[in-house]
A and B are shown apart, each in its own frame.
Chain A
Amino acid sequence: MAEQASGGDRLFRSIVAAKPKLVTGVPDGMLAQTIMLCEASPDFPYIACAREEECIGVACGAAMAGERAIVMVQNAGLLNSLGAFATMGLRYGLPFVIIVTNRGALADPNGYDIEKREAFDAGVRPMARVFDFDASDLPDDLIPAAFKWAEAARKPVILALEKRLGAEAAA
């Protein structure tokens, strides 16, 4: 929780500003505060999924009806979901937003995260548009802008949030 005390609230406010019809996800430590704020929000349902691949399906169901949906998962979770991402999200051209915590950065050196990041770079970036951000310094219009991009491109967009060196001191 403490690891994203400021960024979590800012991300939530950006989510609200995009007026999604639903938000779905599987927790990661960097997303915990945002997820709890989403669960308490009266503005949209938050669907807590048991597995990340389900989140892609849930978002696709909303997007098929023309509604805005947001997925929040860790990089390892998106790796679990690439089949769904490709065969639903990309194949049907569905404009939803995936917020991924890209663990294993230089400022986030947990041993169990290193290979996740390398697999994310090797497996996700060649097949999808990924925009990278400092998790502690997110633009207020991040999620509305991401939807505008996805709707123009007619495909999902991935926002990769990471810890960056010096970011906490700057914040």
Chain B
Amino acid sequence: MSDLSNLPSQQDAIAAALALYPARPFAVSDIGSQIGWLKAAGHDSRNLYVSGPMGLATSVALGLAAVRPNEQVLAIAGDGALAMNLTSLATIAGAKPKNLAILLVDNRVYEFTASVPTPTRELDWLAVGRAFFGADQCMRLSDLTPERWASITRPSMIVADVAPAPGKPPALGLTPAMIRLEFLKASR
């Protein structure tokens, strides 16, 4: 991964993953750059912006998926964030939610923290995902079409290599009370 310039932006990768679904899924994003880029990719009342701690989006998404089994849920995690909650992959693999997928956006840096390199920058996330979910349920975003995505069993994981942004992501501009109220209405 020496040349990063040809990679999509995090915002474009999130938008592309959301576009795989025939209807808008619940999208649960991690604190830091994911919440900003999810909002930039398309603010929606079904977006759940997690304020902290870093890495918890996959767990929050699992709880949401469990209480809304007829809805699709997409957890959006950065490589630094998911590394902080790697055990959640084991929990999700064990719980086997039929409506939960994880989008791992790998830019190899803590983008919100001065783009300090992550310790996982040389990790093969595709191999990690396949170890937890199997080869048929973990694939690269660039290999997916809506038709193929519809045929893939959940829980599953999408790996997207993305380019580091030149600056910080856009500010969220929403308070926790606003996020909670809007999401509560959308998820009822």
Residues of A within 8 A of B (CB): 21-22, 24, 45, 47-51, 53-67, 69, 83-84, 87-88, 91-94
Known: A65-B68, A91-B176. A57 touches B63 (CB 8 A): yes
Interface-forming stretch among B86-94, B145-153, B161-169? B86-94
Q: Let me know if A64 and B187 touch, CB within 8 A.
A: yes
Known: A64-B180, A88-B56. A47 touches B67 (CB 8 A): no
Within 8 A of A (CB), among B74-101: 85, 87-88, 90-91, 94-95
Cβ–Cβ < 8 Å partners of A22 in chain B:
63, 66-67
Known: A47-B63, A54-B88, A84-B56. A65 touches B187 (CB 8 A): yes
Q: Let me know if A57 and B62 touch, CB within 8 A.
A: yes
Known: A50-B90, A54-B88. A88 touches B60 (CB 8 A): yes
8 contacts between A and B (CB under 8 A): A54-B88, A58-B66, A61-B63, A63-B63, A64-B180, A67-B67, A69-B67, A87-B31
Cβ–Cβ < 8 Å partners of A63 in chain B:
63
B22 within 8 A of A: no
Complex CA–CA separation, A102 to B61 (angstroms)? 28
Q: B186 — nearest CB in chain A belongs to which residue?
A: A65
Interface size on B, residues (CB 8 A): 35
Known: A49-B91, A58-B60. A93 touches B67 (CB 8 A): no
Cβ–Cβ < 8 Å partners of B90 in chain A:
50
B103 within 8 A of A: no
Cβ–Cβ < 8 Å partners of B180 in chain A:
64, 92-94
In this complex, the member of B53, B59, B184 whose beta carbon has the largest number of chain A beta carbons within 10 angstroms is: B59
Q: Let me know if B63 and A87 touch, CB within 8 A.
A: no
Q: Let me know if A62 and B51 touch, CB within 8 A.
A: no
Cβ–Cβ < 8 Å partners of A84 in chain B:
52-53, 56
Q: B56 — nearest CB in chain A belongs to which residue?
A: A57
Q: Let me know if A62 and B63 touch, CB within 8 A.
A: yes
B102 within 8 A of A: no
Q: A45 — nearest CB in chain B belongs to which residue?
A: B66
Cβ–Cβ < 8 Å partners of A66 in chain B:
184, 187-188
Cβ–Cβ < 8 Å partners of A69 in chain B:
63, 67
B64 within 8 A of A: yes
Cβ–Cβ < 8 Å partners of B50 in chain A:
88
Complex CA–CA separation, A64 to B51 (angstroms)? 13
Q: Let me know if A47 and B60 touch, CB within 8 A.
A: no
Known: A87-B53, A91-B176, A92-B180. A62 touches B91 (CB 8 A): no
B177 within 8 A of A: yes
Partner of B63, one of A48, A58, A91: A58
